[in-house]
Amino acid sequence: MQIENDNFKITNEENNLENFIQSILKELNLMEETLVVDRIEENIAVCENRKSGKIIEIDISKLPKGIKEGNVLKYEKGIYKIDIEEQKKIEERIKEKMKNIWNN
């Protein structure tokens, strides 16, 4: 199949390639995200991207069982995983900040 107009032609193969490239780019972007579960509303986990502050909603069926508020998520090999190591680092930073607030 070809789509034509005066300026360009797009073949089905080119369109498939573009879709494939966009899919890969989306996966790469997800892999770079660190998400924190802010809250769970019914079957949706409302998560905050730690870098951008952007809020995203993820169906909990796509998340590990037992997911809860405060969990840190990483996207690896097509699935979300709880990043316990990063979660501990964040919790320690919060404890330090709270300690500094109460000591001043």
pTM: 0.61
Residue 43 shares a structural domain with residue 70: yes
Q: Which tens digits make up the pLDDT trace of 74-96?
A: 888 778 999 998 888 888 888 88
Residue 70 shares a structural domain with residue 27: no
Determine the Cα–Cα distance for residues 89 and 76; give it in Å rounded to an integer: 19
Pairing status of strand 72-76 against strand 35-41: antiparallel
Report whether 75 contacts 31 (CB < 8 A): yes
Residue 27 shares a structural domain with residue 39: no
pLDDT at 2 over 60: no
Residue 17 shares a structural domain with residue 60: no
Residue 8 shares a structural domain with residue 42: no
Residue 5 shares a structural domain with residue 52: no
Residue 41 shares a structural domain with residue 85: yes
- Residue with the bigger pLDDT between 13 and 102: it is 102
pLDDT at 34 over 90: no
Number of structural domains (the chain) is 2
Residue 45 shares a structural domain with residue 96: yes
Determine the Cα–Cα distance for residues 104 and 77; give it in Å rounded to an integer: 45
Residues 6+ apart with CB under 8 A from 97: none
Confidence of residue 63 (pLDDT cuts 50, 70, 90): very high
Domain that includes residue 93, residue range: 35-104
Residue 51 shares a structural domain with residue 68: yes
Q: Region 31-43: what's the mean pLDDT?
A: 87
